[in-house]
Amino acid sequence: MAMYWKICMALTLALFVQVFAQYQRRKVGGWNDVNEDNQGVQTALNFAREEFNKISNNGYIVKIIRTIKLKRQVVSGTKYRMEVEVTMSSGNNYETESYPDEAHQTKICRFEVLSIPWQNHIELLNHSCK
């Protein structure tokens, strides 16, 4: 019986250590790195670009060149924080990429998007481009 107790304690301790290690790597409700290939990130990036272009008076994002930092936070849905390098144009036809090179400016943009797929809701919370 004593051996059974020791085995149970060892297994419980091992399980506790494993759960604690997982928690340290990914804190519940905290911001976590996310891969560029993630479908949610791609949806959020495209949405942020479209919304920015609708409301912008300072130019239009023509193309996202590269991602710099991507974070995700699970809340009542998913929040995405994205820092990307973009090319921008002051032209009014931002859907095409056929601008001359001299009309493009490279900027760093930061977006925060909230996505609640089961409610068919997506929202641009914050944005800035410098």
For 20-34, what is the mean pLDDT?
71
pLDDT at 28: 67
pTM above the 0.75 mark?
no
51-109 pLDDT tens trace:
999 998 878 998 999 999 999 999 999 999 999 999 998 765 555 455 555 567 899 99
Which residues, 6 or more positions from 51, have their beta carbon under 8 angstroms from its beta carbon? 124, 127
Q: What percent of the chain has pLDDT over 70?
A: 73
Residue 44 DSSP SS3 = helix
**Phi, psi (degrees; rounded to nearest 5) at 56:** -80, 140
Question: Six-digit token pair at 113?
Answer: 């998007």
pLDDT of residue 10: 62
Token pair belonging to 109: 């943009």
Who wins on pLDDT, 96 or 18?
18
Q: What is the pLDDT of residue 104?
A: 77
Structure tokens at 79: 């929040």
